[in-house]
């Protein structure tokens, strides 16, 4: 569709500039050619991710979330250090292209139905909202905080890749065991709802059976999470055909999303490991 529009635009411009001066014709042609040959390059995204604190995140349409900002300086600084370390694991610009330009830090994300560790807000200010929590230096919960960061980033990246089509992703659903339907399991029946324990074939958690969005994000949280989660993912791939091909598909999608040459990164190493082991 883009090519058709560009060709039509170029033809119309040619008719108009035919009656203009040579300078106007040259200027118009140069502008249209520059648009025609504009490329998606890493340099387009070469800027820092903004970490926003002590400020209410933008309102999420049709949601009932509220935000507690009463974190301590100690907890906030600890979390910011952890977050910066996760951002650095990706190629520079990856978060920007993935519509995660702003990261809002709150103490807690609250709602009438409970809380959340993070919220993707790619449609509003290209942002992510993350819950810092409390008593971080001694909570022994870095692995959970890290997983939540990569989980929410994956939601934003999927929106950047697919737009509103990311809600359905029918091709992804075809990778599941025959007859499986997302949303068929209830959290009331499974106490380990969010734990990454590979409870059923094709899924890292019961929660990942909710929908394709969460399924992909849960796999990403293991792919880019701590070393134990990553090792578990590779191990489960060796015995679970459905999980293996889903992990491979996710890694392939992320490689295509960021196809640019660059130095080796944690991101590239982890993707290569999954592509080699989960096939």
DSSP string covering 56-97: PPPPPTT---EEE----HHHHHHHHHHHHHHHTTSPTTHHHH
Residues 223 and 121 in one domain: no
Residue 159 lies in a domain: no
Residue 157 lies in a domain: no
- Residues 213 and 183: their CA atoms lie apart, in Å, by 12
- Residues 138 and 73: their CA atoms lie apart, in Å, by 15
pLDDT tens digits, one per residue of 134-148:
999 889 899 999 999
Range of the domain at 212: 168-184+193-279
- The 10 Å Cβ neighbour count of residue 180 is 16
Residues 134 and 173 in one domain: no
Place of tokens 């040459």: 261
Residues 127 and 92 in one domain: yes
- Residues 154 and 118: their CA atoms lie apart, in Å, by 12
Cβ atoms of 80 and 105 closer than 8 Å: yes
Residues 135 and 176 in one domain: no
Residues 53 and 111 in one domain: yes
- Residues 92 and 98: their CA atoms lie apart, in Å, by 11
pLDDT tens digits, one per residue of 164-177:
888 878 899 999 99
pLDDT at residue 28, rounded to an integer: 53
Residues 267 and 176 in one domain: yes
Output helix, strand, coil percentages for the chain, rounded to the nearest 5: 50, 10, 40
- The 10 Å Cβ neighbour count of residue 153 is 28
Residues 217 and 276 in one domain: yes
The reported pTM is 0.85
What is the DSSP pairing of strand 114-116 with strand 108-111?
Answer: antiparallel
Residue 126 lies in a domain: yes
- Residues 133 and 204: their CA atoms lie apart, in Å, by 24
Residues 212 and 278 in one domain: yes
Average pLDDT over residues 130-159: 95
> Both tokens of residue 276?
């080699």
Distance of CA 184 to the CA centre of its chain: 25
Residues 242 and 206 in one domain: yes
Q: Which has the closest alpha carbon to 80: 58, 105, 100, 101?
A: 105
109: enclosing H helix or E strand:
strand 108-111
Q: Which has the closest alpha carbon to 219: 157, 168, 136?
A: 157
Residue 4 lies in a domain: no
Residue 51 lies in a domain: yes
- Residues 47 and 42: their CA atoms lie apart, in Å, by 10
Residues 129 and 197 in one domain: no
pLDDT tens digits, one per residue of 52-100:
999 999 888 788 899 999 999 999 999 999 999 999 999 999 999 999 9
Residue 196 or residue 11, greater confidence: 196
pLDDT at residue 123, rounded to an integer: 85
pLDDT at residue 166, rounded to an integer: 84
Q: How confident is the model at residue 38 (pLDDT cuts 50, 70, 90)?
A: low
Residue 81 lies in a domain: yes
pLDDT tens digits, one per residue of 189-229:
888 899 999 999 999 999 999 999 999 999 999 999 999 99
What's the DSSP call for residue 136?
G
Residues 130 and 49 in one domain: yes
Residue 150 lies in a domain: no
The total of structural domains in the chain comes to: 2
pLDDT at residue 4, rounded to an integer: 35
Residues 130 and 173 in one domain: no
Residue 222 lies in a domain: yes
């Amino acid at each position: 569709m883009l090519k058709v529009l560009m060709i039509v635009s170029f033809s119309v411009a040619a008719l108009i500039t035919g009656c203009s001066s040579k300078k106007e014709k040259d200027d118009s042609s140069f502008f249209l050619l520059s648009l025609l040959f504009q490329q998606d390059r890493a340099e387009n995204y070469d800027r820092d991710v903004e970490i926003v604190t002590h400020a209410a995140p933008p309102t999420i349409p049709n949601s009932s979330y509220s935000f507690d900002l009463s974190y301590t300086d100690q907890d906030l600084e600890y979390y910011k250090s952890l977050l910066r370390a996760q951002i650095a694991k990706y190629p520079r610009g990856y978060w920007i292209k993935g519509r995660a330009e702003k990261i809002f830090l709150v103490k807690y994300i609250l709602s009438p139905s409970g809380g959340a560790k993070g919220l993707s807000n790619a449609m509003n200010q290209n942002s992510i909202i993350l819950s810092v929590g409390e008593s971080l230096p001694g909570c022994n919960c870095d692995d959970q905080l890290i997983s939540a960061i990569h989980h929410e980033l994956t939601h934003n990246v999927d929106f950047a890749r697919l737009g509103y089509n990311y809600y359905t992703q029918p091709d992804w659903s075809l990778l599941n065991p025959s007859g499986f339907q997302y949303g068929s399991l209830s959290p009331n029946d499974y106490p380990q709802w969010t734990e990454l324990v590979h409870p059923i074939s094709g899924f890292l958690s019961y929660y990942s059976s909710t929908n394709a969005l969460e399924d992909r994000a849960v796999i990403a949280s293991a792919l880019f999470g701590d070393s134990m989660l990553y090792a578990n993912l590779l191990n489960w791939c060796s015995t679970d055909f459905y999980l293996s091909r889903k992990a491979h598909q996710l890694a392939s999608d992320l490689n295509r999303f960021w196809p640019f040459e660059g130095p080796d990164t944690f991101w590239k190493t982890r993707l290569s490991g999954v592509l080699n082991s989960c096939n």
